[in-house]
Amino acid sequence: MKKKLLEILCCPVTNVELSKVSGTKLAIVNKAIKDKSIVSRDNSIISNPLKEALITKDGKYLYPIENGIPVLLEDRSILLSQLD
């Protein structure tokens, strides 16, 4: 994802800045996906691991990136408090 695009994107729910998620955090999320212990905001079980994602600056929401395109839909976001 281009840096310039990332600079103008924000969370559609909270308007907080977004950044690319770290590899460590992505690995934790993907483990939860593999264990079927994490759902999107619409309560759908996420079954495919994420290759890329955006995270809010406050670390509360994660948005998948699919085929290089950020999916900034509230229903598709992941509430990271599920990992606690």
Domain span including residue 29: 3-83
pTM reported for the whole predicted model: 0.92
Residue 1: the pLDDT is 65
Q: How far, in Å, are 4, 6, 20, 69 from residue 81 at the CA level?
A: 29, 23, 18, 24
pLDDT tens for 12-67 read 999 999 999 999 999 999 999 999 999 999 999 999 999 999 999 999 999 999 99
Q: Taking CA 15 as the corner, what is the angle to CA 60 and CA 64, rounded to the nearest 5 degrees?
A: 55
Q: State the total domains in the chain.
A: 1
pLDDT at 4 over 90: no
Length of the chain: 84
